[in-house]
Amino acid sequence: MDFVAIGDTTVDEFIRLKDARVACDINNENCTISMKWGDKIPYEFSVLVPGVGNAANAAVAAARLGLSAGFVSNVGKDRYGDDILAMFAEENVDTRYIAVNDGIPTNHHYVLWYESERTILIRHEAYEYLIPEGFEASKWIYLSSTGERAEAFHGELAAWLTEHPETKLAFQPGTFQIKMGVEKLKELYAVTEVVACNKEEVETILGVGDTDMKTLLERMHALGPKIVLITDGPNGAYAFDGTRMLKVPMYPDSKPPYDRTGAGDAMTSTFVAALALGVPIEEALRWGPVNSMSVVQDIGAQKGLLTREALLQHLENAPSSYRVEQF
């Protein structure tokens, strides 16, 4: 296969809030949402979206862009697990490496959605994390969010990658992997082709406060990855290959965002999928924000993911200001 994603998958239950208040600091950052405690809070509607999560979203993005894609994960032997397997089959994502667990339920997250932003209530079930029996080397592995029981798995994967240099690793650290810090993951960073995070996540990984982008790119690159990708919200995305530092702006929204869930996953996975397709890094950096723009126009992290034909059409119609520059 061209692209195998590894990580947790879940059912996301979106709850569209009707009555809430958002308070932010002077820079419109560090926002909090509040509702009346002990009251009955009306909501507009709810939607159940199966088969999502950082790595799951990446597998679907890669498949839609024309790569042969598979997924290594866990589900429960329940209705939600069945829904997830069916969804991946529809998306042409190979499910042979998804373990079906009897007695452990499928992950189920709740997304509190207000206006275009959301807060996600998460729970990772206690699955075992193993390199599947008979696992065949792919051209790329895309590793992202796992649960706390996966700590030892990261070392096992690093050893496997050392034995299979034909496979390139893209690493998009999830919440638990960010908390693990640099020391516990140093062997994995050393065999990583692409590491991708947003600016705040990089600062947490490195244990620094607000830091300029050039320094963050250099310090993440020093951990071992050949390419560093850092997203910075409305400021765009940045990449460093050890020689050049590149920047791309956000792709202009066709209309105001409806739901921002999955925007970062779309950016990162599309960048990696483009590299897997043989696209140069400068052009891959242009691909990512297009899918990110598209995915925020729909509910959930996958519905708006584009086919390669549709993505290339957006690039053809891009304004002249949408270009990659060195900085």
pLDDT in tens, 98-116: 999 999 999 999 989 888 7
Structure tokens at 220: 């993440």
What percent of the chain has pLDDT above 90? 76
The answer, yes or no, to whether residue 259 has pLDDT greater than 80, is no
- CA neighbours closer than 13 Å in the CB half-sphere of residue 280: 5
pLDDT in tens, 23-76: 888 777 788 888 888 888 889 999 999 999 999 999 999 999 999 999 999 999
> For residues 229 and 221, is the Cβ–Cβ distance under 8 A?
no
CA quadruple 72, 194, 226, 320: dihedral sign: positive
Query: Could you tell me how far CA 217 lies from the centroid of its own chain?
Result: 19
Q: What is the pLDDT of residue 36?
A: 80
For residue 80, the model assigns a pLDDT of 97
> 27-38: buried (b, 16+ CB within 10 Å) or exposed (e) per residue?
eeeeeeeeeeee
The pTM of this model reads 0.91
Q: Tell me the HSE value of 248 on the side-chain side, using a 13 A CA sphere.
A: 28
Mean pLDDT over 217-240 rounds to 96
| Distance set, CA 91 to CA 95, 257, 266 (Å) | 11, 24, 16
Q: Where along the chain do its domains lie?
A: 3-326
Q: Which amino acid would we find at residue 139? A: K
Give CATH for domain 3-326.
3.40.1190.20
Query: Helices (DSSP H) in the chain: which residue ranges?
Result: 54-64, 79-90, 151-163, 175-180, 186-190, 199-206, 213-221, 263-276, 281-295, 308-316
Q: What is the dihedral of CA 214, 219, 224, 226, to 10 degrees?
A: 0
Give the tokens for residue 271. 């960048």
Pairwise CA distance, residues 127 & 107, whole Å: 10
d(CA 232, CA 264): 10
